[in-house]
Structure 1
Amino acid sequence: MELICGKDISSEIRNQLKENLAQEGLKPCLAVINVGDDKENLLYIGLKENAVDTLGGETRIASLPQNAAKEEVLNLINELNHDQAVNGILLQLPLPKELQPYEQEFLSAIDPAKDVDGFHPVNMGRLVNGTPGFISCAALACMDISKRYKAPLAGKKVLLIGDSFDLIRPLALMFIKESCQVSVAPQYKSALMEGVDIAVIEAGGPHIVKASGIKEGALLIDAGFYYDQNSLFGNVDKEDLSKIDGHLLPVPGGVGPMLITKLLENLCMAAGMSLPDKNTG
């Protein structure tokens, strides 16, 4: 299978976003709420900050201590909701163990118009109703790749493996909207791949996806991440699929770079929504 380079596509999209912002005179501002000092969270925040910086935007990192109370988080969210200089708000996950039971309450407290992660119930509900606002970055990334490599999508047989609220569930709705034949399964089995045009595989195991059962010309999107001795692996065995005709968005270098790029798209959309209505006056 031909490997798709997520970094190259991301670079193309970011250059276009930067050009659009310059034309509109916009400098988007992203507020990232970080609770505690989880090293992996800090790494991801740094990547997002660098990405926003490349567009000429601003990132505000609002930090709270590991032992922050529920009310402190809610108060901070409320403060950022009312800050007109902030276009997008992101709650960095995972939260400290003591606050995890309140995760949905925190996400629901973010202004839907600033919910650039697409996790607010209002934005998820709008997707169900066919009038989407902000959509989760993972789902946007997979749909972008699908349209680039398998358009037109109508009638395509799509298989989604997993049940995550940020990828599989919204993506299923998006593919249904595109008139695809959509199947969802909790775990990967090769027998499920028969006749599949597009497969997004989140749940599985390291290199569990082999060549067996893969349709010639299929598009596979690997959305599984596994670490072993400082190496990163996905669900798909790239070597085993090397002789099959088709395309693969691999791990690493596939979905990962696209996630932050789609966050930037949402942030730019939020900044554009803050512009005065050109039809008024």
Structure 2
Amino acid sequence: MNSEELVRRIHRELADSYDEEMELEIEDRDIDPDTGAVSDLRTDDEKEYRRRYFRELFRLQGELVKLQDWVVQTGHKVVILFEGRDAAGKGGVIKRITQRLNPRVCRVAALPAPNDRERTQWYFQRYVSHLPAAGEIVLFDRSWYNRAGVERVMGFCSDDQYEEFFRSVPEFERMLTRAGIQVIKYWFSITDDEQHMRFLSRIHDPLKQWKLSPMDLESRRRWEEYTKAKEIMLERTHIPEAPWWVVQAVDKKKARLNCIHHLLNQMPYAEIEHAPIALPDRERHDDYSRRPVPDDIVVPEIY
């Protein structure tokens, strides 16, 4: 990739990140993140690709709503793990899955690094409290597989702890499935060049620079060590009760659609019929009059 194409990719990445948040409200226009100016940088093919993406995303999100209703109706319990390298797109697909769903039914667990007390607990203990009850879906944005990845590569666990993890995790996940919790595990796979480009786009995006921690930058340097750790993890923890599924994630939009489509096919959900919704007439009482809101507590209308 030459420097001109790299700059174009970074610019397109920045524009896409804003477009995704505003969805179709800006139609086929590009918004400069610094000035807010409208420009037209996409080719006709890119515009059509984007339109097809949103049409299919909205259709799949409609199916996710049906899945949610089925989960609640049947009392199903689901855990979905999202793993992958930094900037692989895990957060993006989680956002699209949860975007239209009830946060009381479908919630995200994104645990920080363990504190001093948690480091003395049974390794899986801090994850257990986040597991679903009946009628709930829990999405883990990174999970107990931190031990097989970042902790192994960065030296945050001993060799004995690492080996104990591999002895324990298949039994832990089998325990979950025996308890009626469905476990679905996704690994988001990107190339060396793609991660490089995404890191550069974050460096140049003031709204995303917070995503680049010193640990992320160190992971970039240790690409091959992470690759080896990932290969060992997939080999030793791919079990029939909770298999791994690899999402090809170089194209973020395709990865989101493919992952959501695959997820929908992991459960035998059906559309739940609901009684028609009718708004009741509002009651009015002659002895009530609305009080004016004091001007000094009204938020100024700047826009």
TM norm. shorter chain > 0.5: no
Higher helix share: 2
TM-score, normalised on structure 1?
A: 0.37
Query: Given the two structures, how large is their TM-score scaled by the length of structure 2?
Result: 0.35
Between Structure 1 and Structure 2, which shows a larger proportion of strand residues? Answer: 1
* Max Rg structure: 2
The structure with higher relative contact order (CA 8 Å, sep 6+) is 2
